[in-house]
Chain A
Amino acid sequence: MSNPRTLFDKIWDNHVVHRQDDGTCLLYIDRHLVHEVTSPQAFEGLRMTGRKVRRPENTLAVPDHNVPTSGRAQGIADEESRIQVETLSRNCEEFGVQLFGMNDIRQGVVHIIGPEQGFTLPGMTIVCGDSHTATHGAFGSLAFGIGTSEVEHVLATQTLIQKPAKNMRITVEGDLLPGVTAKDMILHIIGVIGTAGGTGYVIEYAGEAMRKLSMEGRMTICNMSIEAGARAGLIAPDETTFEYIKGRPLAPKAGNWEQAVAYWKTLPSDAGAKYDKEIVVQAADIEPQVTWGTSPEDVVGISAFVPAPSDGRDANKKSAIERSLDYMGLKAGQRVQDIIIDKVFIGSCTNGRIEDLREVARIAKGRKVAESVYAMIVPGSGLVKLQAEEEGLDEIFIEAGFDWREPGCSMCLAMNADRLSPGERCASTSNRNFEGRQGRGGRTHLLSPAMAAAAAIAGHLADVRDYE
């Protein structure tokens, strides 16, 4: 009998096209997602060498980073952004790649639309020129971000040159406390292992609390694996996964469906499979989380206080805390709930799905956004927007004073017109709180959609459990 293997080992083994003596592998890539920012130079490379896209039918493109989230009928005002989006359209046409254009109802953030369309399936290898490709690992597919040179490599050959990562398993035992969501789990985990804790690993998330998450919660978890340094996160596929996929436009159809599910059921890690590193977290230790600094590992519970440089584990971390406090305009020892905010951003590939919006609506219903706060909601895709409107969520948002916008990456990275001004402070459901991430001099606090809604209403960081 063969050695017990992890989910990662199985997917890896199933995709090795060729293995060199030194262990370097040529890995087959099942699905390739493409967006406008990291692809123009790759298509240009193909053009210059006279190469074609090997598997256009396994490639799907969408503009998301640069698109405006209001007034789309007027096109894109910023010339460079417009050229980049037009370049994507032209490249897709020339190379025969399917594109969901800016005015297509299926357009949205690249990591939202893959799962939504059934383009993302268990056991696959999936890549995209974007670090949050880890999102798709929620389906038990090996999904990771690549640079533009590798985008060109995949377009030309449908493969990548890779070496296997190490296996890490993070188990969250027990049940989550009320008010605690997938976002709080992953922020807490990043706080525990650090922003480089997963470097060189693929993280498999396991345990009762993970198994009970919906697919949307699982996507939030896997999405932020990169913020823990891991290129990919994985959750074993189960009935929740199959139920989510069934009936989606690109999902296997009758006849193939049974065969696909039978295969997917062979994927979960074998009993006794070996992990290079194991972390166990107790669900009961997690309260609603919020970041205070400029790295996702700078995270605390909402009832905590802002740390001091002396809390750093070494000299480098001490000076990093000092720099973060200065950038964020915070004082050591300050109560986190006293931090006043100017803006709220709800959306992104981390938290722009329908369940996230339902959470916001649940907290916002019958309440008002604080007068001092501007709060925007950017749905993850046109289809998420449509569904929210069919459920009447948009009316709750607008009634409460939220700005209800068009789908895109928006203020997660502020490449379009949605951004913070210097010194502005934002409660954000996105994934990065780096210096300048949401606009130069902008100050970001990462939190869950429900916590963001509570902050919008309170006008300061607040404990969502007081709003249930």
Chain B
Amino acid sequence: MEKFTSLTSVAAPLPLVNIDTDMIIPKQFLKTVKRTGLKAGLFYELRTDEQGNPKDFVLDEPAYKDAKILVTGDNFGCGSSREHAPWALLDQGIRCVIAPSFADIFYNNCFKNGILPIALPQEQVDMLMDDARRGSNAVVSVDLENQEIKGPDGGTITFEVDAHRKHCLLNGLDDIGLTFEKAEHIDQFEAKRKATQPWL
């Protein structure tokens, strides 16, 4: 997993609430057996008409095509557990999503892929949304170490992030590797479980 330390980029505005994972990446793109190349399916139905021709969409506008930050509405990522959603965002180049709230599974999946999801109060998201609407003039900086966002006019917003997740993201750590270090604890747990719950 690629580390996340700090990021400076244009932020793209996507002011919709309850953006679900079917909207982030529809089912026909879930048939892959790979993690890569999913950009083609990202926001497919918002991005194309029924014939597959491009229609106006924020991430295809010249000002936002290289945006690494997405500012969006409440309950982002609700719905299914498909990790294809963060894979597709990552393939597009998005490394940070800012919203008033996230669905739990999506939120968790982001951290496994080097994407930082930031939940902020609605008023602060509204401010960043206004900044994002200013196109390529509006550059936003996200600093994970100091848990700070700096807007284009120099204002600073602080954000919360779980300490363990922050540590993993800053260092690009692989969860499975960390867990293998605790193999002895797992062995002990299994031995106890076998003795007390033999039906399992």
Contact = CB atoms under 8 A, between A and B. Distances in A.
Interface of A: 17-18, 20, 22, 24, 26, 28, 30, 37-38, 40-41, 44, 49, 51, 54, 58, 65-66, 78, 80-81, 83-84, 87, 121, 124, 129-131, 133, 144-150, 152-153, 156-159, 161, 163, 195-196, 199-200, 226, 229-231, 252-253, 256-257, 259-260, 263, 295, 316-317, 320, 323, 413-415, 422, 432, 434-437, 440-441
Contact of B103 (A149, A229, A440): A229
A245 B113 CA distance: 39
Given A17-B186, A26-B185, A130-B80, A150 B22 contact: no
11 contacts: A40-B32, A130-B80, A131-B79, A159-B179, A196-B74, A200-B104, A256-B198, A256-B199, A260-B199, A316-B17, A436-B23
A66 B30 CA distance: 10
B56 interface: no
A87 B33 contact: yes
Interface in B134-189: 162-164, 175-176, 178-180, 182-183, 185-186, 189
Contacts of B18: 195-196, 295, 320
Given A129-B81, A163-B162, A199 B101 contact: yes
B31 A66 contact: yes
A163 to B, nearest CB: 7
B133 interface: no
A297 B78 CA distance: 12
B40 interface: no
Interface in B73-104: 73-75, 78-83, 86, 101-104
B26 A440 contact: yes
Nearest to A155: B176
Nearest to B17: A316
Interface of B: 16-18, 20, 22-23, 26-28, 30-35, 45, 50, 73-75, 78-83, 86, 101-105, 108-109, 112-113, 162-164, 175-176, 178-180, 182-183, 185-186, 189-190, 193, 197-200
Contacts of B182: 17-18, 26
Nearest to B28: A415
Contacts of A231: 104-105
A196 B78 contact: yes
B188 to A, nearest CB: 8
Contact of A26 (B17, B31, B179, B200): B179
Given A17-B185, A157-B176, A432 B22 contact: yes
A266 B20 CA distance: 38
Contacts of B28: 415
A367 to B, nearest CB: 33
A127 to B, nearest CB: 10
B27 A152 contact: no
A17 B105 contact: no
Nearest to A28: B189
B45 A435 contact: yes
A155 to B, nearest CB: 9
Most chain A beta carbons < 10 A, residue from B32, B175, B182, B199: B199
A225 to B, nearest CB: 11
Contact of A441 (B16, B50, B101, B163): B50
Contacts of A130: 80-81
A432 B199 contact: no
A310 to B, nearest CB: 17
A17 B45 contact: no
Nearest to B85: A147
Contact of A229 (B16, B78, B162): B78
A84 B34 CA distance: 10
B193 A28 contact: yes
Contacts of A226: 79, 105
Contacts of A163: 162
A41 B33 contact: yes
A38 B199 contact: no
